[in-house]
């Protein structure tokens, strides 16, 4: 993967993490936290999709690598919801 492909992957992960935080209504941090949440959400969402046998709607191809934005957002939202339950609400 080239540097440009990696930067695009970081951007997509940031969007997924930010949308996951927006859905739950809990802000865990800034841009770097959104990127991390996007990657963790992609792992959780992909695992959940394969365990439940659900399809992958609208996969995004980044230099031959498939990235499911929908499942990354769902996984990030689930992960942020767990974080907010464990750590409490921020104002």
pTM of the model: 0.85
> Is pLDDT above 90 for 87?
no
> How high does pLDDT run on average in the chain?
87
| pLDDT value at residue 68 | 86
> Is pLDDT above 70 for 14?
yes
- Residue 64 φ/ψ, nearest 5 degrees: 85, -10
> Is pLDDT above 70 for 50?
yes
Q: How many C-beta neighbours within 10 Å does residue 62 have?
A: 17
Please, are residues 17 and 67 in contact by the beta-carbon 8 Å criterion?
A: no
Residues 6+ apart with CB under 8 A from 39: 13, 17
Q: What is the pLDDT of residues 23-34, one digit of tens each?
A: 998 887 888 988
Stretch 40-65: mean pLDDT, rounded?
Answer: 89
DSSP state of 30: S
Q: Residue 25 CA to chain centroid, in angstroms?
A: 15
């Amino acid at each position: 993967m080239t540097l440009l492909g990696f930067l695009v992957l970081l951007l997509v992960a940031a969007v997924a993490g930010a949308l996951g935080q927006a859905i739950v209504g809990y802000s865990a941090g800034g841009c770097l936290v959104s990127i991390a949440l996007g990657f963790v959400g992609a792992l959780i969402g992909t695992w959940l999709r394969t365990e439940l046998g659900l399809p992958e709607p609208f996969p995004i191809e980044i230099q031959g690598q498939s990235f499911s934005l929908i499942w990354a957002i769902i996984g990030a939202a689930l992960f942020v919801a767990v974080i907010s339950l464990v750590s409490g609400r921020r104002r």
